Amino acid sequence: MNLRGMMAIYKFEMARTGRTLLQSIVSPVISTSLYFVVFGSAIGTRITEIGGVPYGAFIVPGLIMLTLLTQSISNASFGIFFPKFTGTIYEILSAPVSHVEVVLGFVGAAATKSVILGLIILATAGLFVPLQVAHPLWMLLFLVLTAMTFSLFGFIIGIWADNFEQLQLVPLLVVTPLAFLGGSFYSIDMLPDVWQKVTLFNPVLYLISGFRWSFYEIADVGVGVSLGMISVFLGICIAIVWWMLRTGYRIKS
Amino acid sequence: MMPDATEPLITIDGLSKTYASGFEALKDVSLEIEAREILALLGPNGAGKTTLISIICGLVNPSAGTVTVDGDDIIRDYRRTRARIGLVPQELTTEAFETVWHTVSFSRGLFGKPADPAHIERVLKDLSLWDKKDNKIITLSGGMKRRVMIAKALSHEPEILFLDEPTAGVDVELRKDMWATVRGLRDAGVTVILTTHYIEEAEEIADRVGVINKGELIVVEEKTELMRKLGQKRLRLELLEPLGSVPDALAGHDLELTDGGACLVYTYDAQAGRTGITALLGELSAAGIRFKDLETSKSSLEEIFVSLVKEGA
């Protein structure tokens, strides 16, 4: 195994965060703080609590997930799209690194950044609302699994995209709506019956529900179901990435 | 382990590539490359030179055929073959916001080699990039960027270096520096394969020349041998009095009137036992055609190349 090669990619991607600190860390923290002000303070005065949890605290897991999903996808998709766009990918293709090492380098870095960002937002949330984390290890597990899954998903988008517009298309048109409709800001009990059923088809629901359970032990679906669903998404993403790299899809003619 | 001197270092056997568009970029190319030689692949744009290099380096999948490096297959044993190869592609593709030092160090790590600042320093100094090591690549000139790409390719101490159009868009002085660098690498034991459409480049630095046209390898030969075999010589006679046409008495010779009839050019095969020069001079004298000067010249690699490509068309 070419560990040095893998680490070279990982460190390179991590160093990119340092160069784009404002865009990578500061901007998600600011936007999350704005959500707290708008949803937590303004709307939270009308909705006092959900399932025994103050509304401001209730939305914290959902907000972290929202950022985690969008940032994982954006980091990983840009990480692989940019070398493809500029042509510097030639070096990775000509290097003695396996597909697994390439993916671990790029996706590992994107997931690491997202987890760090998630923890920063958690700390930021602590400034606005009283927080409790009932199951810290479960919380970390959900955080890491989600970051990995959506970084892999971003990697897929980065390979698939031919231009910057396509790169933005899936996050804007699919992921953000799913995240908003997946119970970031509410419990699905609050929806009419039919919409509760529809929401069960939204994969993001399972991520947010499991993650929220690790904080407050309240969930829309069982925690085992959440974990199972994340594992299924992870498996699907791994299979697609494996196929893409094996066939050289849009990278190697 | 250094390869056996009698065995080729790289063996290309029946290599073909047809792109998804149906374009046949390579047609059954077979070629053996010796260790420590400079092989120049000549060919017009779109001839298949870059495709050939890209397959060997892992950028393009072959449609048929095999390539081995010292017995290792480039697909099955890719880790071993790629670790020995450095590639400088044609396009100037660099990480614009990285510094020279970081990008070259990154390349070494990517190829699995432990960090070696002394080696990187040597490479950068050899390529006159040392004083730019902390500069961001975006601030460098085109020629410097090209050298950064060579430094990246040399960072992991490859035994084989592929240079795809290394001097495209490079000024004359820098081109000569580049040639000196390539020669220095060969002398240090590196096998260099370069593509070019500048004939003088091949003529200047190559040990062997391969000509590719429309996906086919037309000829591979020692440069001097190729010029000897295919080279024609010309005898140019400056006439005292211009001629309107070649006299009928001399029609048996391959003659051409140039410079408005002031020059008579005779083309002959330098390798033939009889060049026909004595007979021609005798007949000129008999026809009363006198000349004030004469000179002979050999055809250049460029003329050989043009005639080969035309024949293949």
Q: Please check whether residue A237 lies inside any domain of the structure.
A: yes
Task: Please indicate, yes or no, whether residues B169 and B81 belong to a single structural domain of this protein.
Answer: yes
- Identify which of B58, B94, B110 has the shortest CB distance to residue A9: B110
Whether A34 maps to a domain, the answer reads yes
Which distant-in-sequence residues (6+ apart) come within 8 Å of B35 by Cβ?
B2, B3, B5, B8, B9, B159, B191
Assess whether B211 and B77 both reside in one domain. yes
The predicted structure's pLDDT at residue B3: 46
Instruction: Please tell me the distance in Å from B55's CA to the nearest CA on chain A.
Output: 10
User: Could you give the CA distance from residue A186 to residue B113 in angstroms, rounded to a whole number?
Assistant: 52
Crossing angle between the packed helical segments A99-128 and A3-19, to the nearest 10 degrees: 40
A251 to chain B, closest Cα gap in Å: 8
The structure's pTM equals 0.86
Chains A, B: CB contacts under 8 A, how many?
70
Tell me, yes or no, if B20 comes closer than 8 A to chain A by beta carbon.
yes
Nearest-10 Cα torsion for A52, A56, A59, A63: -160
A106-157 pLDDT tens trace: 999 999 999 999 999 999 888 888 888 999 999 999 999 999 999 999 999 9
Classify residue A252: in a domain, yes or no.
no
> Is there a contact between B124 and B131 (Cβ–Cβ < 8 Å)?
no
Cβ under 8 Å to A: B residues 103-162: 106-107, 109-114, 152
In percent, how much of chain B has pLDDT > 70?
96
- Rounded distance, CA A175 to CA A32, Å? 17
Please identify, among B228, B244, B261, the residue that sits at the C-terminal boundary of a domain: B228
Asked if residue B248 and residue B223 are part of one domain, the reply reads no
A93 CB near a chain B CB, below 8 Å?
yes
The parent domain of residue B121 ranges over: 10-228
CA-based nearest residue in chain A for residue B20: A253
- For residue B26, being part of any structural domain is answered with yes
Tell which of B196, B228, B260 closes a domain: B228
> Which residue does chain A place closest to B18, by CA atoms?
A253
A138 in a structural domain: yes
Residues of chain B found within 8 Å of residue A86, distances taken between Cβ atoms: 93-96
Domain final position from B203, B228, B253: B228
Q: Residues B162-210: pLDDT tens digits?
A: 999 988 777 788 888 889 989 999 999 999 999 987 777 888 899 999 9
Q: Kindly determine whether residue A4 and residue B89, on different chains, have CB atoms separated by under 8 Å.
A: no
Domain count, chain B: 2
Q: State the CATH number of the domain containing residue B250.
A: 3.30.70.1560
pLDDT for the residue B274: 79
**First-to-last CA distance in chain B?**
43
Subunit contact B95:A93, Cβ cutoff 8 A: no
ipTM of the complex: 0.90
Residue spans of chain B under pLDDT 50:
1-4
Report the C-alpha gap between A67 and A80 in whole angstroms: 20
Question: How far, in Å, CA of B152 to CA of A69, rounded?
Answer: 35
Tell me which residue of B172, B166, B211 sits closest to B29, measured CA to CA.
Answer: B211
User: Do B212 and B241 lie in a common domain?
Assistant: no
CB contact under 8 A, B61 and A252: yes
Asked, for residue B112, whether it belongs to a domain, the answer is yes
In angstroms, the separation between the Cα of residue A174 and the nearest Cα of chain B is 31
Q: Based on the domain organization, do B217 and B246 belong to the same domain?
A: no
Which one of A14, A21, A86, A94 would you mutate to disrupt binding with B, by most B Cβ within 10 Å of its Cβ? A94
A52 part of contact set with chain B, CB < 8 Å: no
For residue B93, the chain A residues in CB contact (below 8 A) are: 86-88, 90
pLDDT of residue B230: 67
Q: Answer yes or no: is B2 within a domain.
A: no
Residues of chain B with C-beta less than 8 angstroms from the C-beta of A91: 87, 107, 110, 152
pLDDT in tens, chain A (253 residues): 899 999 999 999 999 887 777 777 888 888 888 888 887 777 777 777 888 888 888 889 999 999 999 999 999 999 999 999 999 999 999 999 999 999 999 999 999 999 999 999 999 888 888 888 999 999 999 999 999 999 999 999 999 999 999 999 988 888 888 888 888 888 888 888 888 888 888 989 999 999 999 999 998 899 999 999 999 999 999 999 999 999 989 888 8
Contact assignment for B93 to A19 by CB distance below 8 Å: no
CATH of the domain at B104: 3.40.50.300
Q: What pLDDT is recorded for position B249?
A: 83
Using an 8 Å Cβ cutoff, are A93 and B111 in contact? no
Domain ranges, residue A195: 3-247
**Closest CA of chain B from A14, distance in Å:** 13
Structure tokens at B46: 């779109």
Q: Which of A19, A90, A96 sits opposite B59 (nearest CB)?
A: A90
Q: Cβ atoms within 10 A of the Cβ of A12, count?
A: 21
Token pair 């390179």 is found at A12
Mutate to test the interface with A, among B19, B79, B110, B116 (most CBs of A within 10 A): B110
Is there a single domain that holds both residue B30 and residue B174? yes
Distance CA A63, CA B30 (A): 60
Residue B309 covered by a domain: no
User: Which residues in chain A are closer than 8 Å to B89, comparing Cβ atoms?
Assistant: 87, 90
A67 Cα to chain B: minimum distance (Å): 27
Residue A200, in any domain of the structure: yes
Same domain, B161 and B261: no
- Does A253 fall in a domain? no
Q: Please tell me the total count of domains within chain A.
A: 1
B47 and B149, same domain (yes or no): yes
Convert chain A into a string of H (helix), E (strand) and C (coil). Answer: CCHHHHHHHHHHHHHHHHHCHHHHHHHHHHHHHHHHHHHHHHHCCCCCEECCEEHHHHHHHHHHHHHHHHHHHHHHHHHHHHHHHHCCHHHHHCCCCCHHHHHHHHHHHHHHHHHHHHHHHHHHHHHHCCCCCCCHHHHHHHHHHHHHHHHHHHHHHHHHCCCHHHHHHHHHHHHHHHHHHCCCCCCHHHCCHHHHHHHCCCHHHHHHHHHHHHHHCCCCCCHHHHHHHHHHHHHHHHHHHHHHHHHCCCCCC
Alpha-carbon distances, residue A144 vs A17, A110, A118 (angstroms): 18, 11, 10
Q: What is the pLDDT of residue B38?
A: 95
**Which residues on neighbouring strands pair with residue A53, listed in sequence order?**
A50
